[in-house]
Amino acid sequence: MHQTSQAAIATAADTPSSAQRLPLSGLLALAMTGFIAILSETLPAGLLGQIAGGMQISQAMAGQWVTAYALGSLLTAIPLVTLTQGWWRRRTLLLAIAGFIVFNGLTAISESNGLTLVARFLTGAAAGLAWGLIAGHARRMVPVARQGKAMAVAMVGAPIALSLGVPVGTWLGEWLGWRATFVLVTLASVVLALWVLGAVPDFPGQAPGQRAGAWQVLRTPGVAVVLLVILAWVLGHNILYTYIVPLLAAASMAADTGLVLLTFGLAALLGIVVVGLWVDRHLRLLVLLSLAGFAVATLLLGQEAPTPGVVYLSVALWGLTYGGAPTLLQTACADAAGEGGDVAQSMLVTVWNTAIALGGVAGGLLLSGSGVGAFASVVLVMIALAGIPAWSGRRAGFVAGGR
């Protein structure tokens, strides 16, 4: 039965019409899954005051709602994806979406901060499972030559959520209240589940003899190289992004934070478009150019007193070079892992969330010690630590030439 389904899928993928057209509805449903995952994670950050008042807790404790979510993704992604390797893929994706529905809904009605923290942890676990599935599912929906473009579409939800989702969620919270905002995210997840049922094809899981263990996948040539690049690149990015407000305050632009973040988000969307057009032919080159562009943006931001024009230019370049990073890095990771792609993606989720957490810690230590003036030099070191393995991984990880 599995072989028949796979043969039918392969035959369909080889037809001229399917080779020319991407299954946009299904891929956009995957993008919406990523959008809700990111929105669920970051929404409390824009509603700290309301949550603190409504739950009668401090804003610092309200901030732990984000921490609990991140820990859920960090600690459970690899075990959950490994456990579900043999399950039908759409059903597994729907299980993750069901987690968004149940646990965001519970967050909306809970009166207990302890119960809410548990719900937030489990929402993060659902997100960790979802992120472990999205990339592999998108790749299986198209022929090999179109996988990079499919990934670019499936990944578009994340930068949209970061650039537009959080401000809109904050506005809705101010208008309707924070509980109603979580209700809306829950209802959007219900719509998403129906969308996935109607537009996303199902694929069989891996047979018992084909399932790779985490250690086996990690030892696959190129996988560790890609994960190292992710750790350094995302850590450097998050030192700057997490502490963008004090960075802008040093340039007397704290009042422009919203517009600066919007500039970053719009440039990131453009970066996704560029990567989507070229990732299947020039993945390695795009990675190296993105790191080089990030280095230039960091140097510009690191000036002692950058002008507003320089700040906007550097933030736009930063967004342009980072927007396509998820597509580039997930594609490279999946290419290197082969049949162990889903497990490799769960490792990617774990490393990515680790880098986010380390970025917050490292940036905080720098801010309280040397101040924002030390950000640029540390981030440039991170870029170098990402660039060296990316450059040396031309045979495994970031292979030269077309995919």
Mean pLDDT to the nearest integer, 165-184: 85
pLDDT at 5: 38
Closest CA to 104 of 40, 30, 196: 40
pLDDT at residue 8 tops 50: no
Check residue 364 and give its pLDDT.
84
Whether the per-residue pLDDT at 268 is higher than 60: the answer is: yes
Lowest pLDDT segment from 99-113, 233-247, 295-309: 233-247
User: What percentage of residues in the chain have a pLDDT greater than 70?
Assistant: 94
Q: Is the pLDDT reported for residue 178 higher than 70?
A: yes
pTM of the model: 0.78
Range(s) within the chain of domains with CATH label 1.20.1250.20: 2-210, 214-392
Q: What is the pLDDT of residue 244?
A: 84
What CATH fold (topology level) applies to the domain 214-392? Growth Hormone; Chain: A; (1.20.1250)
Question: Looking at per-residue confidence, does 160 or 383 come out higher?
Answer: 383
- The token pair that represents 232 in the structure block: 């350094």
* Mean pLDDT across 40-55: 86
- Which CA distances in Å does 64 have to 41, 114, 144, 148? 11, 11, 41, 36
User: Would you identify the CATH topology of the domain 2-210?
Assistant: Growth Hormone; Chain: A; (1.20.1250)
- Rounded to 10°, the helix 59-83/113-140 angle is 40
Taking the CA of residue 165 as centre, how many other CA atoms within 13 Å lie in the half-sphere pointing to its CB? Answer: 24
Compute how many other C-beta atoms are within 10 angstroms of the C-beta atom of residue 365. Answer: 13
